[in-house]
Structure 1
Amino acid sequence: MKNLVNVALAYQAKGMSVLPLLNKKPLIKFADRPALTADEIKKLWKKYPTASIALKTDKFFVVDIDRHENGADGFNSFDQLPKEWFPETLSQTTKHGGKQLFYLKRDEMTLHQMIGWQPGIDIKEHPNNYVVVAPSDGYSWENKNPIVKAPLDLIRTINQSRATKGHTNRVSEDLNLTRERNSTTDVLETIASGLGDQGQRNKALAALCGALFFRSVKPRLAYKLVNIANENSNDPLPQKELDRTFESILNREMQNGGG
């Protein structure tokens, strides 16, 4: 197989997080680590000259369409979705006849990875996930389009589908629990179910922050919990907005002698 170091360097120069693969498995530890530098890429491909190329899905996400033998046909599923959700963007064909559409993430709305979003269609988004890319063996770019931003309607739909499919039917909502509910019950349910609908999210976030600080939760852990609540929302707040509200409530608590 041809040495792909120059292609890997070209991706790196465009700001992509490059990974070397053999048999679709990364040759380095990469989770929560900075992107490889040009010098690191050169050294790795000198050591592994037949390595394929993968890109971390940290700046973009992929709509992964596939056909499964005796299973779901992602192309049929895709044809039934609104075309305006999928503007022209960079796309490639995959080794087994699939197709991947690349879209930039948006700062103003968080997207969540969702395997099985539609029958035969996955959303690969996690910053520690990756996709094999052309010209790795079996992969080919369909066009030279730039990667464009995903429409907000597409992101909302994916997040709503994730929230809906995340619900379990194994436990009835109407169970007659013997213990009484209390304010801590509300806090835990907010974390699990999210901050509510648009227009109520900031108020719910502020209330959750206050409730956590009232219960003497350490700020570092409280910050993690409010982020979980935001991620569990159908329409999450932008990260900057969440951070601004959290810091405001934290500063108020510190001024009042809390923390």
Structure 2
Amino acid sequence: MLTPVIPIASGKKGPPFVKDWPHASLEALEEAMERYPGCNLALRLDRYLALDPDDQEAAKFLVKLEREGKLPPTVAWETWRGMIIRLYQRPVGLEPVKPNGSGMKLEIRTSPGQYVLIPDSTVNGKKYRWLPHVGPADIEVAELPAVTLSFIKDTLGRHREAKPATSASVSAWAELWQGLPKGSRNDAAAKLAGRLLGRGITGDEALEILRAWNANNHPPLSEAELVRTLQSIAKAEERKGKKDDAPTVLTATQLLARTLQKPPEIIGEGIFPEGAGMIVTGESGVGKSLLTLEMAVRLSHGIELWGLEVPRPRRILMVQSENPLHSVQFRLRRILVGLEVQGAPNVMLVDPAFRIDLANRKSLQDLKNILENSRAEVVILDPLSSYHRTNENDNVAMRGLLDNLTHLSRLTGCAWIVVHHHGKPQDGTRDIWQYRGASSIRDWADTMIALLNKKGMDKQILRLMRFDKIRNGPDRPPILLDRNQDFIHWPTQEDVLAPHTLVVATLEDMGGEAKSQRALSEEISKRAGCSLSTARRAVENAMNTWIVLKGGKVLIKQ
């Protein structure tokens, strides 16, 4: 059993309930523990040394030492942030060693004036957990070899010393100023912005330096792209600087006094703000993957989505497992042709062979690294069922799993589009509950869109896009979509096989004038392969709603 243990308020990392906790007796601490049931637990480090990593570099450093046999097995546990703390016996006279803000963030915590949280403490809704087979009931606290402790202290000492720039690093940065071609400029701008902001240079000063650097590129990045890159890196630096001990309670007075802005929109009218979660549902074979691939291209180029504004281009990361890459390549080429755009440089794909379990901490850390490296603003996960092994009917488990996506959004700033399947049809089930699994799936989503098969005239298959939930905007009526040979979805009208565009194109090919409505309808019937009555209805709808046919000319209603 580990002692002495100090009670701390549940959900917090401090301060302890006992005022003079560094000098309190074991009996006084035990009495305090009885007064505060369900509290967080902290181990006072009178007799212990805790190796406490606070970044991935420090965590990997300790794992390397462990694999090399320099760190003996000892009591260890996982923190709420996924870091592993290892506990050893305290050498006599050892003083704590703190990171100085540069290099890896590894702290040697020891002395009666320090403590570490232990399981089953909870912070930000996440629990501390004993690692399997190395909990205090399984293993004794080991001694840390003096040679290993000396090596760790020396390594931290070297990190504290200013590192002179090597000729290679100077050369690399000098090359950036010689100018870069297309394909290299964005990444270089991001690296330079991070270097400048990380050294305390203000945003305005950094922008001036970036402009001077950008002038040497061939061709230079646009001013808008340069500003967006700097803003993106500034947000990432701000997230890095946030403290774990930020206040968790906000009074209504404080809330009302704050100046808060709505997050910028990825898709307009509240459909999809930055940091939001969207779920696209539908039965197997309805075309969810095609729809989201088209969405990826449109969002990456800033092209409107079926009448909904896309304010600016976004960086898209696609994580999908059902479609082989050659199939994705074929579809992507067709979509680019259909949208008449050149390439999709802002769309990135994770190798389908890369496996992710959204309930596994290591997988989540791997995914976080991918998100940070790609600087993705939107992540498309297709389908949800391929990335977990949880019972989808378990409300608590599914909400916890999806909350992991929310946590990644807060860490990286990305938004999610999650593809999910419909379940088997059940009598009496409301349409909005057609998706498979627990109700907490819908509760998590900011926006939920269902894609449904719908038969039109002459056996035409349409897709009905239904907005089942919009948390950040007004309710919207469903949109009826038709999909062309290039996998592009266009809004259409129910029971219309011949869209308005076909009416216009046919009339223009006839010289802008038709002898009669019947002649125009017959020509449309031939082209669309539909009945004469369907073609006639298309002409009437075009005359009444979208286009005006007058004097043999095509006029668009303003």
TM-score when normalising by structure 2: 0.24
Give the number of the structure with larger relative contact order, counting CA–CA contacts within 8 Å between residues 6 or more apart. Answer: 1
TM-score when normalising by structure 1: 0.49
